[in-house]
Amino acid sequence: MVLSLYVVLFLALHLLPGVKSSMANLNNNGYDGIVIAINPGVPEDEKLIQNIKEMVTEASTYLFHATKRRVYFRNVSILIPNTWKSKSEYSMPKQESYDQADVIVANPYLKYGDDPYTLQYGQCGEKGQYIHFTPNFLLTNNLPIYGSRGRVFVHEWAHLRWGIFDEYNVDRPFYISSRNTIEATRCSTHITGINVVFKECQGSSCITRPCRRDSQTGLYEAKCTFIPEKSQTARDSIMFVQSLDSVTEFCTAKTHNTEAPNLQNKMCSSRSTWDVIMDSDDFRNASPMKGTDPPPHPTFSLLKSKQRVVCLVLDKSGSMSSEDRLFRMNQAAELYLIQIIEKGSLVGMVTFESLATTLNYLTEIIGDNAYEKITANLPQEASGGTSICSGLRAGFQAIIHSNQSTSGSEIILLTDGEDDQISSCFEEVKQSGAIIHTIALGPSAARELETLSNMTGGYRFYANKDINGLTDAFSRISSRSGSITQQAIQLESKALNITGRKWINGTVPVDSTIGNDTFFVVTWTIQKPEILLQDPKGTKYEASDFKVDKLNIRSARLRIPGIAETGTWTYSLLNKHAKSQMLTVTMTTRARSPTTLPVIATAHMSRSTTHYPSPMIVYAQVSQGFLPVLGINVTAIIETEDGHQVILELWDNGAGADTVKNDGIYSRYFTEYHGNGRYSLKVHAQARNNIARLSLRQQQNRAMYIPGYVENGKIIPNPPRPEVKDDVSEAKVEDFSRLTSGGSFTVSGAPPAGSHTPVFPPGKITDLEAKVKDDHIQLSWTAPGNVLDKGKEKMLFNLSFPM
């Protein structure tokens, strides 16, 4: 199989949420602010909204009793895509968006079923990213297979909100207990059933036989299946099989099966699910509601996405004249307006120092004339003080003046200055309903800046010594609507310090999923270099083909005509000046067509703030649609406030910081702190030498597909679950390059750089396995390094015994 064979894949053509900032919060036992977002690619269907309401209403009561009267769902927003028709009952969203939703409704990530699942790759007790329901799951009767939709929602909510894991294991469905009996992997062991091999099924009748024992493993043969009894007395656990009528609770310390080889035991050190839930932030201060009355039914708000509205609020105070900051800001803002912002968006611009000036009210980005009206007004001089609130207020007025609401609009706020009055407009910002993305430039930017992005669900970035830091930040601020084929993708972002009169060469792969609206940009600090760019078919572009900016912001831009050729592009740059100068290369593109799913990369840290010596985890997700991309090189570049860079290779090996092997989530512990302050994260994902592949296997952390039940001694089968055959479990992926910013994070309590010794222990062994080989047992595990997962290697240990 190759990547272009989309006919075998039932893929959603839209963006997956990357960095999550859930609006859900718990107040007086009720969850408010839950967002369920429907993908723009889902056809309009009123029944979908009705079924979502019914699912959440049922789930609320089930959750209330499962948590012993502690929590329920109170207020839920359903985000309608702008591809659906407008209706009077639809309100305008504030900070709610598809990318930040708790639940997304989108077409399946492959054609092999509609299993609900939660994208969850954090450590035990850490929140997941989102729950994914398919339209087919919500619109058809799946009661025999998964149980009621409300029960399934509670199973997935436990993954998402409390960071607990499944208590079954598809890969290891049986284990040998301490009593030397073969048991189904489950919790609790009070759930009864039979173990059989299906020989043949016709309709509601199946021919089965008892499972045979494998002499090599001591377990049942590979095709053996555990079929639960329909009628049970066991009340737990929801994380094993929520579909059984009797199951209404989570496993507790008394009922938890510590021997089962499931992800809950692996990730949570054999703690029960209820123990982890009770230790969560939600439950530490949540007492059971008094009385016997059930909770009130949830209330629902229907919100419809609107046309994207963005206002740039840019600092032009006196400090912006240092270190070429004004130039760098203008270069990055111009790139954003020409190459990143989606066509059809409304964009305005405000600058500020002690006072604010509105340079452009909202302009619809349609053709070249539109963005030229804005770029022509980029500030050319820096002077004055810093009043961030003045800039924000002017930004709000620029939006309102253009007959748009600030609610749901976006502000991109860039500043390098301190401002002790910034908190004076926090309440105005909160009331505006706007989303504030903040970019802190340099080490002196106001420390309260991140509060603005945190309170509004915006992105937060930091740029300092990395000359491409601003470009990378702006490139990350795409639409949150879920329409990935409209969004810009960054292929290259490189800073090159070239000595006088010297050439430097480089390559950028362009794969067949991209190539529309492709730009190649070169910037310089002293003198325009000689530029040679060649496509895979030999067509050459020279410096004369590049458009040099009229505003003297030292950049040259080439828009590749039509669709960029697939293959390796090569470039050569000559520093024509006698002295060394810094050159940068940036390449961006979009999906090849509205029906072509591009490979994308997103990145973030496990937390936005940390206090030394608490370690953090770097996460990068590389996917095509909902399918993970495997076998690639993923590198994280972390820049500290003083400009020091730490480079980490991220791994998808299921050990150390990585939860599950081969799920397209590349992870690594970060422990190399260099003082306090802001740190920035950038990730480069590269597929090389044609070894990358697309995984077609089902996700982890999903509601279990029940093959059938035993009722009155007879097996009642469910329809067989579509499985991925071994010969099509992976598809080849062309070589590609993706670069993405992971935003910024803040460190406190760290000693100065170089003044401390490592205080982090070796990582925990989580993948110990035993296999019988001839006359001995072979144990294998990934050995931890001296500092968490630093310095790991695969080790084997053999233990012989007489057979």
CA separation for the pair 464, 325 (Å, rounded): 9
For 69, the enclosing helix (H) or strand (E) is none
Higher-confidence residue: 780 or 536? Answer: 536
pLDDT digits (tens, 9 = 90+) for 133-169: 999 999 998 888 889 999 999 999 999 999 999 999 9
Q: How far apart (Å, rounded) are the C-alpha atoms in residues 789 and 289?
A: 43
Burial, 267: exposed, middle or buried (Cβ in 10 Å; 0-12, 13-18, 19+)?
buried
The helix-helix angle for 149-162 and 46-66 (nearest 10°) equals 70
- Mean pLDDT, all residues of the chain: 89
Mean pLDDT value across residues 250-254 = 97
Q: Is the confidence at residue 338, as pLDDT, over 70?
A: yes
| Residues 703 and 666 sit within 8 Å (Cβ to Cβ) | no
| 414-426 tens-digit pLDDT | 999 999 999 999 9
Which residue in 82, 80, 88 sits closest to 46, CA to CA? 80
Tell me, what amino acid is at 2?
V
Position 8 pLDDT exceeds 70: no
Q: Given this model, what pLDDT does residue 571 score?
A: 98
Per-residue pLDDT at 83 exceeds 70: yes
Question: Is pLDDT above 70 for 197?
Answer: yes
Per-residue pLDDT at 755 exceeds 70: no
- Asked if pLDDT for residue 303 goes beyond 90, the answer is yes
Go through the domains of the chain in sequence order and give each one's CATH number: 25-164+278-304 (no CATH), 307-480 (3.40.50.410), 482-595 (2.60.120.380), 599-695+730-751+758-802 (2.60.40.10)
Q: What is the C-alpha to C-alpha distance for residues 414 and 325, in angstroms, rounded to an integer?
A: 11
pLDDT (0 to 100) of residue 763: 65
* 642: helix, strand or coil: coil
* Whether residue 265 has pLDDT greater than 80: yes
399 with 336: CB under 8 angstroms? no
> What phi-psi label fits residue 339: left (phi over 0), alpha (psi between -120 and 50 degrees) or beta?
alpha
In sequence order, the 6+-apart residues with CB closer than 8 A to the CB of 274 are: 249, 250, 251, 252, 253, 256
Q: Are 434 and 121 in contact (CB under 8 A)?
A: no
DSSP structural state of residue 321: G
Average pLDDT over residues 451-471: 93
pLDDT of residue 17: 35
Question: Residue 278: its pLDDT value, please?
Answer: 97
Distance CA 407, CA 91 (A): 11
pLDDT, one tens digit per residue, over 568-579 is 999 999 999 999
Residue 11: the pLDDT is 33
Which amino acid would we find at residue 688? R
Give the pLDDT score at 723. Answer: 62
pLDDT at 790: 67
Structure tokens belonging to residue 279:
């230790």
Taking the model in full, what pTM does it have? Answer: 0.90
Average pLDDT of the segment spanning 718-735: 70
Q: Which residue from 112, 157, 107, 110 is spatially nearest to 131, judged by alpha carbons? A: 157
- Cis? peptide before 613, omega within 30° of 0: yes
Predicted local distance difference test score (pLDDT) of residue 390: 98
Instruction: Please list the alpha-helical segments (H only) found in 477-544.
Output: none
Q: What is the pLDDT of residue 672?
A: 87
- Residue 786 — pLDDT band, cuts 50, 70, 90? low
The helix/strand/coil state of 698 is coil
Kindly tell me if the per-residue pLDDT of 391 is higher than 50: yes
* pLDDT value, residue 595: 84
Tens-place pLDDT, residues 642-666? 889 999 999 998 888 898 889 999 9
Q: Which helix (H) or strand (E) holds 180?
A: none
Q: Residues 482, 487, 492, 497: what is their CA dihedral angle, to the nearest 10 degrees?
A: -110
Q: Judge whether 137 and 116 are in contact, CB under 8 Å.
A: yes
Q: How far apart are CA 587 and CA 570, in angstroms?
A: 12
Alpha-carbon torsion 192, 197, 201, 207, what sign? negative
Q: Token pair for residue 534?
A: 């060649």
Helices (H) and strands (E) in the chain, counts: 14, 45
Q: Any idea of the CA torsion for 286, 291, 294, 297, to the nearest 10 degrees?
A: -60
> In this structure, what token pair is assigned to residue 204?
């509601």
Going by C-beta distance under 8 Å and a sequence separation of 6 or more, which residues neighbour residue 562? none
Give residue-wise pLDDT tens across range 625-637.
888 999 999 999 9
User: Which residue carries 């190649």 as its tokens?
Assistant: 520
Rounded CA separation 135/42 (Å): 7
Helix, strand, coil % in the chain, rounded to nearest 5: 20, 35, 45
Region of poorest pLDDT, from 53-62, 200-209, 347-356, 419-428: 200-209
> What confidence tens digit (pLDDT) does each residue in 737-752 have?
999 999 999 999 988 8
Residue % of the chain over a pLDDT of 90: 73
The pLDDT tens digits for 282-300 are: 998 889 999 999 999 999 9
- Check if the beta carbon of residue 575 is closer than 8 Å to that of residue 590: no
Q: What is the DSSP letter of 790?
A: B
Identity (one letter) of the amino acid at 752?
P
> CA 312, CA 484: separation in Å to the nearest integer?
22
Whole-angstrom Cα distance, residue 515 to residue 611?
A: 43
Q: Where are the beta strands (DSSP E) in 305-442?
A: 309-315, 346-352, 356-364, 410-415, 435-441
pLDDT (average), residues 545-571: 92
pLDDT, position 109: 60
Q: Give residue 727's pLDDT.
A: 45
- Work out the pLDDT band at 378, boundaries 50, 70, 90: very high
pLDDT score recorded for residue 655: 83
Tell me, rounded to whole angstroms, the distance of Cα 221 from its chain centroid.
38
Q: Is the pLDDT of residue 726 over 60?
A: no
Does the pLDDT value for residue 795 go beyond 80? no
Find all residues with CB under 8 Å of 367, minimum gap 6, and list them.
Answer: none
User: What confidence score (pLDDT) does residue 1 get?
Assistant: 35
> Which of 176-185, 527-536, 543-552 is predicted with the least confidence, judged by mean pLDDT?
543-552
- Contact between 248 and 65 under an 8 Å Cβ cutoff? The reply is yes
Kindly tell me if the per-residue pLDDT of 800 is higher than 90. Answer: no
Annotated active-site positions, please?
Answer: 156
Tell me the mean pLDDT in the region 334-354. 96
